[in-house]
Amino acid sequence: MEKITGKGRPPVFIGVMGMTGSGKSTFIKHLTEDPDIKIGTRLRSCTKFIQPAYMEYRDASGKKYDVFLVDTPGFDDTEMSDTDVLYKFVEWLQLQAKNELKLSGLIYLHRITDNRMSGSATRNLNMMLKLVGEENLKNVILVTSRWEMIDLKEAEEREQLDLLGPGGFWHDMIALGAMSARYNGTVKAAYTIIEHLIQQSPTYLCIQDELQRGIDLNETAAGQEIISELEKAALKQKQELKEIEEEMKKVTENAQRSALLLEAQERRYDELVEKMKKDGEARQKLLEGDKEKLEQRIEELEVRLGLRKSKAELESAQQIIEVAESCKRELEKLGFREGGGDKCIIS
Ligand SMILES: Nc1nc2c(ncn2[C@@H]2O[C@H](COP(=O)(O)OP(=O)(O)OP(=O)(O)O)[C@@H](O)[C@H]2O)c(=O)[nH]1
Ligand SMILES: [Mg+2]
């Protein structure tokens, strides 16, 4: 950097900020073609360090400028905390302190394709504002990107309603001197944006000013913003923990109730099995007893039937004897005698 700035021209520093994936590195690469600038291809955040990339800029009159576009990680990095990102900013700014680095401008990128301002987008915007300071907003250009990817009418409506119009996220900043611009991915559009910033008088950022005045990092506006965000997050986490604890309590109570229910059901099941076994045995016993009794009764009946039969036989034998004796008597009356002449003898 020193080699480049050794040409006698004061270097122009332009910071590029915005959410992860908003296209900061792409924007810088379009202009500088610096091979060290890496563009993200995945869902993970890509840029991890504050990284300046050089370009020589020539304005309409042919005047040359040594421009450093400073790439930055977003405050919604997927792997680094906001505090870590702030430390990286501060470290880098302090490293540049001997050069008395002043920023000519800051480009804040926002995808117009995002259909709402997410929590991360709001956090990034607030952090940028705290780092730069309201008094320096004239050096800031708020840029909506990816216009080439969206229906113009829809994008213009969104730009007005969400960002620029009354109640929009950028409305107050613009009222305080920030500019807004559209970026459609072309180098020409990128040139127009930096051209505007090169014309601005360089300024110290609010955080540089605060640190130079000996304010502790945690007392700076940016530090305070992070602390308030962390406190908000802690409150939310506490609430979530409470909800999880209540859920766990409910699940435990239900589990205990289920265990008791299960135990009672098991007991009832065992009792039923035992009872069924006993009833089965009793029925068997009853059936066997009945069989025995039945057999006994049959036997008795048979005996009784046998007696009746013998009695009947006896009676019919007596009747025969009686008939025979009456015949005998009748024959005797007629003169027939036992063992007599040629007459028949009846015994
Ligand atoms: N269509 C379109 N895609 C873009 C544009 N700018 C960036 N991209 C794509 O968006 C993805 C992320 O771009 P980067 O330039 O790495 O985004 P970044 O803001 O530097 O992201 P971090 O380094 O993670 O903070 C890449 O796949 C780019 O190709 C743009 O203007 N138009
Ligand atoms: Mg990047």
- Residue-wise pLDDT for 214-257, tens only, equals 999 999 999 998 888 889 889 999 999 999 999 999 999 999 99
pLDDT at 165: 94
Q: Is 168 in the pocket of ligand 1 (CB under 6 A)?
A: no
CA of 131 to the centre of ligand 2 (A): 19
Q: Is the pLDDT of residue 206 over 50?
A: yes
pLDDT at 5: 53
H or E stretch covering 84: helix 82-95
Atom of ligand 1 at shortest distance to CA of 41?
Answer: 27
Tell me the whole-structure pTM to 2 decimals: 0.72
Which of 69-73, 95-99, 258-262 comes out lowest in average pLDDT?
Answer: 95-99
Residue 314: band (very low, low, confident or very high) from pLDDT cuts 50, 70, 90: confident
Q: Which of 19, 24, 26 is the pocket-test mutation for ligand 1 (most atoms within 8 Å of CB)?
A: 26
Residue 330: band (very low, low, confident or very high) from pLDDT cuts 50, 70, 90: confident
CA of 40 to the centre of ligand 1 (A): 6
- Residue 104 tokens, joined: 């000519």
DSSP of 194-262: HHHHHTSPPB--HHHHHHHTT--GGGSHHHHHHHHHHHHHHHHHHHHHHHHHHHHHHHHHHHHHHHHHH
pLDDT at 341: 47
Q: Which of 39, 72, 183 is the pocket-test mutation for ligand 1 (most atoms within 8 Å of CB)?
A: 39
Q: Is the pLDDT of residue 4 over 70?
A: no
State the Cα–Cα distance between residues 305 and 307, nearest whole angstrom: 5
Q: Is the pLDDT of residue 69 over 90?
A: yes
Q: Does domain 2-219 have CATH number 3.40.50.300?
A: yes
CA of 23 to the centre of ligand 2 (A): 7
Closest ligand to the CA of 40: 1
State the Cα–Cα distance between residues 327 and 324, nearest whole angstrom: 5
- Residue-wise pLDDT for 122-167, tens only, equals 989 999 999 999 999 999 999 999 999 999 999 999 999 999 999 9
Closest ligand to the CA of 17: 1
Neighbouring C-beta atoms of residue 315, cutoff 10 Å: 10
Q: Is 184 in the pocket of ligand 1 (CB under 6 A)?
A: no
Percent of the chain clearing pLDDT 70 (strictly above): 93
- Residue-wise pLDDT for 74-83, tens only, equals 888 788 888 8
Domain ranges of the chain: 2-219
Q: Is 73 in the pocket of ligand 1 (CB under 6 A)?
A: yes
Q: Is 124 in the pocket of ligand 1 (CB under 6 A)?
A: no
CA of 281 to the centre of ligand 2 (A): 84
Q: Is the pLDDT of residue 347 over 50?
A: no
Which of 21-25, 68-72, 74-78, 274-278 comes out lowest in average pLDDT?
Answer: 74-78
